[in-house]
Amino acid sequence: MVVSFLLFLSLFVLVGLSSMLKSRRTKQDYYLASSAVPPSLVGLSAVATNNSGYMFIGVIGYTYTTGLASIWLMIGWIAGDFLASGFVHSRLREATSRTGETTFAGVLSHWYQGDGSRSVQRLIGLLSLVFLSAYASAQLVAGSKALHVLFGWPNWAGSTLGAVLVVAYCYAGGIRASIWTDAAQSVVMIIAMGVMMVVATQSLGGVSSAVEQMEQVEGFLDWFPQDLIVPGLGGGILFIVGWAFAGLSVIGQPHVMTRFMTLDDTGNMRRARAWYYSWFLLFYMMATAVGMLSRVYLTDPGNFDAELALPTMAMELLPPVGVGLVLAGVFAATMSTADSLVLSCSSAVTHDLLPHQTEKTWLLKLSTGAITFAALMWALFNQQSVFSLVIMAWSGLASAFAPLLVCRCLGGRPGWITSSVSILTGLGVALAWRWLGWHNAIYEGMPGILAGGLVLGMAHLLTRGRNYNE
């Protein structure tokens, strides 16, 4: 079991280190791989980054607790993501070439020549640093949970191992190393989830038998959660729309959108999206199925951490090689996202926040190491669930950045005050929604994104379509 796990990790390390052969040792190459990545690698890297440990640990735990109603999370998420990507991705890639910027914040704040605002760039960079650091810590927690269950290692061991590997990838070749390892990891991730789904189904006597056992769990096959704020069909629709906004929120995630900024040619965006969505849909379907199977295989929810469902089932159902494969899949998911998050945080510091943007490779790597250490410390003292921490970071980033990005794609040129008010309003509404506890029924990114968009829309109407550059 340990041997097979270490073999997969060694494979990932070799893939990442091999990227050094193509490194150009520039900031453009470190953060964007010189915008020369083929569509297949962009798609596979984006889906691996999007899936993360949240999919292996958080989503399966949520499905274990919620049941069939969790399917709307998948449907809403993918639908919202797909609709937003068709409108935003190509325009973002074009703006990346036009501005010559290397960060999400840089492109978003300098979309049009002459309209750039250093204040907006620093605000976006600061918020990215805070929320992406929280997100990165959640990935390290997810990996440590799996190692704790399967190997009995202390929680700090998995987080530390993940942090060391993330630094190794980033130092080797920046985002190119991250993308190459993402592609290898995405293959392992989908194989691991497929194996787990097939074996779990067989252990329960086949599909029909598994469904019959699910029917015995009260409310498990209900179409909507029982704790909706608005009961009935109206609450169900709001629940689905809320998760569609969670999918739309992808456009507000700097670490995911950076993948599409590295594409070799804007004309290849359709091919990149084809790779991304075919892989994403297949993986999400299998993860949801495994989550439902885990609820009837592991029958004591009162004394069980739902986020440990996958590693616990793997240990009980699979031979040592299979356990190593599943654990490698979990670690692949956490690392493929964690290294992306760390690189985005590093770029926020060196390019968006520092008074003088730097091209010095040693400073870029020093920033990367410091941010990884901070994320590790956060992970070691974290008390929140992976699912809760990821959704909080995800919704916060989306509520802050998605409205402004959509506005830019529509041709809007809001000034730095309007942009800043939109960012802070969207973020504030999302955090308040979560604090009030309403996120249990409706994803907090929905009111956050709408609030930020409302600020921009009202500013546009008040200026009657003129540039509102104040």
Which residue ranges form the domains of the chain, and what is each CATH number? 2-386 (1.20.1730.10)
Q: Which of 53, 311, 79, 41 is nearest to 178 (CA)?
A: 41
Q: Summarize pLDDT for 7-31 with one digit per residue, the tens.
A: 877 887 788 778 777 777 777 888 8
Say whether pLDDT at 229 is over 50. Answer: no
Burial class (CB in 10 A: 0-12, 13-18, 19+), 277: middle
pLDDT band at residue 54 using 50, 70 and 90 as cut-offs: low
pLDDT band at residue 53 using 50, 70 and 90 as cut-offs: low
**Mean pLDDT score, 56-65:** 80
pTM of the model: 0.84
DSSP string, 191-258: HHHHHHHHHHHHHTTSHHHHHHHHHTSTTTT-SS-TT-SS-HHHHHHHHHHHHHHHHHGGGG-HHHHH
pLDDT band at residue 115 using 50, 70 and 90 as cut-offs: low
**C-alpha–C-alpha distance, residues 147 and 303, integer Å:** 20
Residue pair 128/344 in contact by the 8 Å Cβ criterion: yes
Residue 278 or 321, more confident: 278
Share of the chain above pLDDT 70, in %: 89
Beta bridge partners of 460: none
Residues in contact with 248: Cβ distance below 8 Å, sequence separation at least 6, in sequence order: 80, 81, 83, 84, 398, 402, 449
pLDDT for 392: 83
pLDDT for 226: 61
**Mean pLDDT score, 270-288:** 92
State the chain's mean pLDDT as an integer: 83
Q: Give the type of residue at 260.
A: F
Phi and psi dihedrals of 358, rounded to 5?
Answer: -115, 150
Q: Give the type of residue at 437.
A: G
Say whether pLDDT at 430 is over 50. Answer: yes
pLDDT for 21: 73
Say whether pLDDT at 56 is over 80. Answer: no
pLDDT for 420: 94
Q: Which two tokens stand for residue 5?
A: 């796990």
Helix orientation angle between 118-151 and 39-53, rounded to the nearest 10 degrees = 70
Please state which of the ranges 93-102, 256-265, 349-358 shows the lowest mean pLDDT.
Answer: 349-358
Residue pair 149/5 in contact by the 8 Å Cβ criterion: no
Q: Summarize pLDDT for 395-427 with one digit per residue, the tens.
A: 999 999 999 999 999 998 898 899 999 999 999
**C-alpha–C-alpha distance, residues 229 and 224, integer Å:** 12
Name the DSSP letter for residue 299.
-
Q: Summarize pLDDT for 193-223 with one digit per residue, the tens.
A: 898 899 999 989 999 999 998 988 888 888 7
pLDDT for 209: 92
**Mean pLDDT score, 417-441:** 90
Q: Summarize pLDDT for 263-276 with one digit per residue, the tens.
A: 999 999 999 999 99
Q: Summarize pLDDT for 296-310 with one digit per residue, the tens.
A: 888 765 566 777 788
pLDDT band at residue 458 using 50, 70 and 90 as cut-offs: very high
Q: Summarize pLDDT for 178-197 with one digit per residue, the tens.
A: 888 888 878 887 888 898 89
Q: Summarize pLDDT for 324-334 with one digit per residue, the tens.
A: 877 777 777 77
